[in-house]
Structures are given as structure tokens and as C-alpha cells.
Structure 1
Amino acid sequence: MGAKPIEGRMTAAGEDEVVVFLIGMRINSFVAVRSWWPVARAMGPMLAELARDRGSGLLGFRSLLGGARELHLVQYWESREKLLAYASAPDGKHRPAWAAFNRRLREGKGKVGFWHETYVVPAGSYESVYVNMPESGLAKATGVMPVGRRGERAADRLRKP
């Protein structure tokens, strides 16, 4: 069924800098299951590891489909430092998954594609609005509040705190 919609116009409660990390994979050959299935499967354990560690810096995430061939993940982080610390942690799940992915990438000869983008967004440089929606996206990661507390227009919500 999903979460219950919150009636009215809401915005994300977050006021601090936020790091938005987009990551995705593209299945270039559906028959090359050995190339793409382990890549798709690796993200769940990493997200579970991050969710268990309240100090990891991961605020929240959401999975998206990008057509029939692409899987996307939007992650919200407290800081670039915490994102980079997780990516390079020698005892975390990311480094072995990344090494295995790179091996498969070389062996698969183009059967799976991968991409990521990182955006560091300063405080006061983002805004959001959610109308009759459950907590979603950034609001799910940082909490939700009525739009009026930040301003009725996008321009009002984008001013520096």
C-alpha cells in the first residue's frame, strides 16, 4: 500500500548542506546475467550496512527505474566527507563490491554500464515542494514541514538561511 499521503503543501525540513549522490547501472546485455546481476545485488547490503550505522552520514535514499535497462539510486548524505569515508572504508562492504564490479566490468566487455554523480549543495541552495504526497525524496531524508514555514514560493525557499 505504501505510506499515507500528507495533505497539503509540504517542504523538506533540512536546512544544512546536503550531498546528493546519484548512482546507476545500465544492463547492456540482458543475457549476460553474470555481468550485471551481482552489480544489482550488491547495493542492498551496502544500504543495509549504512542504515544500521547512524553515524554513517547517509540521510536517506530512493530507488528509481530508468526505462527497461537502467536502475538508479538517489542518496542524500550529511557531507562529502562522510560519503568519501564510506567509499574508502577498508572494513565496509563498498570496497570489495567495487573491486568485484571492476573485475566484472573488464570481463564483461561492455555488458553492463555504470555511472555516478555527486553534488554538494550548500545550505539555502535547494528547495522542495510535495503536494499530497507521503514523505518522499529529500523530505523523507530530512523530515517534512509545511511550506509556509519556509515561504510560499520557490524563490522564498531558496534564500539563504
Structure 2
Amino acid sequence: MSAQPIPGRVTAAAEGDVVVFLIGMRINRWRAVRHWMPAFLAMPRMLKELSRDENSGLLGHRLLSGGPRDFGVVQYWESREKLLAYAADRSKEHHPAWAAFNRRARGSEGKVGIWHETYVVPAGSYESIYSGMPEHGLGKAYGVEPVARRGERAAERLASAGSRAHEAGA
């Protein structure tokens, strides 16, 4: 069952800084299954673990596909500190998956590639709009509110977010 579109125009109800983490993999050699399959299977385990823990800091995620070889995930995090804490926690799924990948990578000769990018977007430097969409992306991670609360145009929403950050002493 798919989510129902939200009537009207809405924007993400995010306040303050937003942490966006992009992570993915590329299968460079299909026959090298033992090199790419463990990385491919590790991400769903990590997302499940994070989603079960309300204090993990993961606010939401969305799977991406860049074609038959490229897979990725956009993740929205409560803070940079919680993202880094998860990555460093030896008792969580990430640490053993990362260690195993590094061991296999030594002899993989580029059979699988991985990447990640982390963005800490300051308050006042992001805006969003959703029209005829179910909750999506930043709006799904933070919830949505009517566009009119933050401005009808992107420039107004950015200015509104900047003034809210300034008022808060950011």
C-alpha cells in the first residue's frame, strides 16, 4: 500500500541544522559476488537496526538506484554527533561490516566500490516544497507543515529559515 499524497503545498518542518548522509556502492564486476554481496546485504541490516532504536538519531531514509550497478541511501540524521557515534560503535552492525569490507577490499582490485558523503546543512541554508506528494525526503524525516507558514516562494522560505536561526542565536 502506498502513502497517500498530501493535498496542497507543504514544506519540511525542520528546524536548525540538518544532517544528510549519502552512502552507496557500485558493483564493478558482477562475477565477484563474494566481494560485493556482503556490502549489499549489510546496509539493510544497519537500517533495520537504526530504525528499531528511537535514540539512534536516524530520522529517515530513502533508497536510491542509479541503474543496475549503483545503489545508495539518503539518510537524514538528528545530529552529526549521533551519526558519528553510530559509525564508531563497535557493538552495532556498522563496525563489523566496515571491518569486513576493508579486509575484502585489500584483494578486490576494484571489484566493488563504495562511497559516502556527509552534509551538515546550517539552518537557513535549506528549503523544500512538496505538492501532490506523500511525505518525502526531508519532509518525511521531519514532518511537514503548510508552505504559507514559511513563505510561498523558495526565497521567502530560505529567508524565513535564516531569520528563525538568527532569532534562536544560531
Matched, 1:125 2:122: no
User: Where in structure 2 are the equivalents of 1:1-161 lying within 5 Å?
Assistant: 1-159=1-159, 160=162, 161=164
Name the CA distance, whole Å, in 2 between partners of 1:15 and 1:154. 16
Partner Cα distance (1:50, 1:118) in 2: 17
Deviant stretches of 4+, over 6 Å: none
Residue 130 of structure 2 aligns with an amino acid whose one-letter code is Y
Distance (Å, rounded) in 1 between the aligned partners of 2:82 and 2:111:
31
Q: Secondary structure at the match of 1:107?
A: coil
Question: 1:98-127 CA distances to partner (integer Å, 9 max, x unpaired)?
Answer: 001111222221100011100001122110
Shift, 1:72, TM fit: 1.0
SS of alignment partner, residue 105 of structure 2: helix
CA distance in 2, matches of 1:104, 1:25: 14
Letter in 2 for 1:8: G
Structure 1 CA distance, aligned partners of 2:28 and 2:110? 7
Distance 1:136 1:95 in 2: 29
Please give the secondary structure, in 1, of the residue aligned with 2:10: strand
Question: Secondary structure at 2:86's aligned position in 1?
Answer: helix
Aligned length: 161
After TM superposition, give the deviation of residue 64 of structure 1 in Å: 0.6
TM-score, reference length from structure 2: 0.91
The structure that is strand-richer by fraction is 1
In the aligned structure 2, how far is the partner of 1:125 from the partner of 1:134?
23
- Give the alignment's TM-score, normalised by structure 1: 0.96
Q: In the alignment, is the contact (CA less than 8 A) between 1:15 and 1:124 conserved in 2?
A: no
Q: Which runs of 5+ in 2 are unaligned?
A: 165-170
2:38 and 2:102 map into 1 onto residues whose CA distance is 11
| 1:68-93 C-alpha deviation (Å, 9 max, x unpaired) | 21001100011111100000012111
Q: After the TM superposition, which of the residue ranges 38-47 and 98-107 deviates more from structure 2?
A: 98-107
Q: Does the residue aligned with 1:7 lie in a helix, a strand or coil?
A: coil
Q: CA RMSD in A?
A: 0.9
SS in 2 for 1:84: helix
